[in-house]
């Protein structure tokens, strides 16, 4: 059974001078939030269609495929065009609309062999991703750190539309929104040893660098996996963060939860126990 955690939400305007419509939107958003965990949230004066936080980095892409990085409390444009970007222990990676794969190296995007629609750099210097047919692949550490554009992808069993990795394993969801966890992944055997279905239904799932797991379901509800640790990497249950507001994307790193609404507004929430 799902449980709620006692808490308080506090929504605050962006630290930089905010335009009036941002302030109005923030008030409307705050009016629809109820308690489930301790969050203090800020509506950002920026729009993104996808965002990823990991290893102290935050990157995102706009509806025009422009790439941005959160640095020194502002968004900095990074030259290049991508539809999905990921930051983590494996570095910064992305894919463009033609599904070509790129790695951020020496302050530029290096093309890497293969085709994927989504990529995740959250593993321990290994990479995961899925293609347009929902086939799942991973890239071992020797390839992610090699600096070579020619790499060897390892195919994984199963079919997933979204895949995300962390220090204790990898999580994914399929086309039916079923949730799966892949056990015993590591830099040299990134395919792991087995895949286990987890109770629940999510459209996307993201693993933080610290192993935290968050997801969004088809109704736009946000969930956190409770009870994850070294001895129990799958955790024990999902708890819903009771926003009365829909989201389409979530990511977490170093005490901050980043959420994107269907109209591409960004909410940045400071998370405390």
Mean pLDDT per 10-residue interval, the chain, length 273 residues:
33 42 42 55 95 98 98 97 98 98 96 98 97 98 93 96 97 98 96 96 97 98 98 97 92 97 97 75
- Let me know: does 181 contact 170? Beta carbons within 8 Å: yes
pLDDT value of residue 47: 98
pLDDT at 17: 40
- What does the alpha-carbon distance between residue 199 and residue 60 come to, in Å, rounded to a whole number? 30
CATH code reported for the domain at 45-247 = 2.130.10.30
Going from N- to C-terminal start, the domains of the chain cover 45-247
pLDDT at 273 (0 to 100): 59
As a whole number of angstroms, the distance between CA 10 and CA 26 comes to: 11
Residue 169: what pLDDT?
97
Concatenating the DSSP letter of every residue in 41-82 gives EEEEEEE-SEEEEETTEEEEE-TT-EEEEEETTEEEEEEEE-
Cβ-based burial of 254 (10 A; exposed 0-12, middle 13-18, buried ≥19): middle
Distance of CA 77 to the CA centre of its chain: 20
Measured CA to CA in angstroms, residue 11 lies from 22, 23, 27 at distances of 12, 11, 8
CA distances from 216 to 59, 92, 191, 197 (A): 19, 23, 25, 17
CB atoms within 10 A of CB 106: 6
């Amino acid at each position: 059974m799902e449980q709620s955690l006692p808490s308080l939400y506090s929504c605050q305007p962006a630290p930089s001078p905010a335009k009036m419509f941002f302030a109005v939107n923030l008030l409307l958003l705050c009016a629809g939030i109820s308690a489930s965990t301790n969050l203090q949230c800020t509506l950002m004066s920026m729009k993104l269609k996808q965002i990823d936080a990991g290893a102290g980095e935050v990157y995102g892409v706009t509806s025009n495929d422009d790439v941005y990085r959160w640095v020194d409390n502002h968004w900095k444009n990074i030259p290049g065009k991508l539809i999905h970007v990921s930051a983590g222990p494996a570095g910064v990676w992305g894919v463009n609309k033609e599904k070509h794969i790129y790695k951020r190296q020496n302050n530029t995007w290096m093309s890497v062999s293969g085709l994927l629609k989504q990529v995740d750099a959250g593993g321990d210097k290994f990479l995961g991703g899925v293609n347009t047919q929902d086939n799942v692949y991973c890239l071992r550490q020797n390839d992610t750190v090699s600096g070579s554009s020619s790499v060897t992808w390892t195919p994984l069993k199963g079919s997933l539309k979204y895949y995300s990795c962390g220090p204790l394993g990898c999580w994914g969801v399929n086309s039916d929104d079923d949730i799966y966890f892949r056990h015993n992944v590591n830099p040299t055997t990134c395919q792991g040893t087995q895949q286990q279905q987890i109770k629940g239904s999510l459209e996307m799932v993201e693993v933080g660098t610290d192993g935290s797991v968050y997801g969004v379901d088809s109704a736009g509800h946000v969930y956190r996996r409770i009870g994850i640790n070294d001895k129990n990497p799958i955790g024990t249950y999902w708890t819903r963060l009771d926003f009365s507001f829909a989201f389409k994307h979530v990511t977490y790193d170093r005490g901050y939860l980043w959420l994107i609404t269907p109209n591409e507004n960004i909410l940045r929430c400071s998370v405390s126990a």
